[in-house]
Amino acid sequence: MSGTPPGDLARNRALWTVVNAEFTDGDADRSWAATTLTWGLFGIPERDLGVLGDVTGLDVVELGCGTAYLSAQLARQGARPVGVDLNAAQLATAARCQRRFGPTFPLVEADAEKVPLADGRFDLVVSEYGASVWCDPDRWVAEAARLLRPRGRLVFLTNSVLATLCVPEDEGFTQEQLLRPQRGLRRTAWPGGGVEFHPSHGEWIRTLAANGFAVQALHELYAPAGAATHAYYGIATARWASRWPVEDLWAAQLTG
């Protein structure tokens, strides 16, 4: 498998430099100062889901860590994270936040489809809107399996399949109608945006199984009552996401 073409990688790297300047750098102080580990656009608390379990003493790698606030939360809970990201600007923000808030942990500038870290080094691979969206599942799930020890776990969050079917191609929030076919959705190049991967649930299960994982859970995340629409990511309004799942949070474990 050859992986994501260099042109797509360059397009995504450039997009995330712009997003860092527009939003993630400015938001990083808030996300690093947060005291609760939450998931996704509407901040669903991990304590309500229990998808990660006790991470104390675990070696964790976050693929597509961005500003690495998730890894920071895991480090505060006693894990030993390593953050991997393609984008130097995102990692520079992460390093700034490490100095300002702590804790510090390694940050690696690399493509999550070809991670320059040793086989079998980690107990847990996580990705929140990182490799889970921006990398070819055949490549990055294989990398996750390679990086994990036997019985290691993979937990990742991505846009729900339904949200991806209902979001307009250019600007705007998810609609109450299907705007594209599900067939062929897997690789999606947005006009003026990046190149994303949105496999169906069946494709995720096949890819996970082909790489030695058994699915433990699929949490479909809704906006909780009283949630506000995200100020920057124009994906779904809180009203839409209170009625349909906006994100899929998967947990899987290597069977051997």
Binding residues for ligand SAM, rule: CB under 6 A, are 9, 12, 16, 24, 64-66, 70, 84-87, 90, 111-113, 128-131, 134-135
Least spacing, CB of residue 159 vs ligand SAM, in Å: 11
Report the residue number whose CB is nearest to ligand SAM: 66
Count Cβ atoms within 10 A of the Cβ of residue 112 and give its class: 0-12 exposed, 13-18 middle, 19 or more buried: buried
User: Which residue's entry shows tokens 């510090």?
Assistant: 104
Which CB sits closer to ligand SAM, 163 or 256? Answer: 163
Least spacing, CB of residue 256 vs ligand SAM, in Å: 26
User: Which residue type occupies 141?
Assistant: V
Least spacing, CB of residue 209 vs ligand SAM, in Å: 23
Q: List beta partners, residue 82.
A: 61
Count Cβ atoms within 10 A of the Cβ of residue 223 and give its class: 0-12 exposed, 13-18 middle, 19 or more buried: buried
DSSP string of 94-120?
HHHHHHHH-----EEE--TTS--S-TT
Which CB sits closer to ligand SAM, 112 or 252? Answer: 112
Which CB sits closer to ligand SAM, 136 or 162? Answer: 136
Q: Rounded to the nearest 5 degrees, what angle is found at the Cα of 254, between the Cα atoms of 105 and 218?
A: 85
Which CB sits closer to ligand SAM, 88 or 178? Answer: 88
Least spacing, CB of residue 56 vs ligand SAM, in Å: 22
Give the list of residues 6+ apart from residue 46 with CB closer than 8 angstroms, or none.
36, 37, 38, 39, 52
Least spacing, CB of residue 43 vs ligand SAM, in Å: 11
Which CB sits closer to ligand SAM, 130 or 137? Answer: 130
Q: List beta partners, residue 159.
A: 247
Give a three-class secondary structure readout of 19-49. Answer: HHHHHHHHHHHHHHHCCCCEECCCCEEHHHH
Q: List beta partners, residue 250.
A: 156, 218
Which CB sits closer to ligand SAM, 46 or 85? Answer: 85
Least spacing, CB of residue 133 vs ligand SAM, in Å: 7
Least spacing, CB of residue 41 vs ligand SAM, in Å: 9
**d(Cα 198, Cα 162) in Å, to the nearest integer?**
10
Which CB sits closer to ligand SAM, 1 or 176? Answer: 1
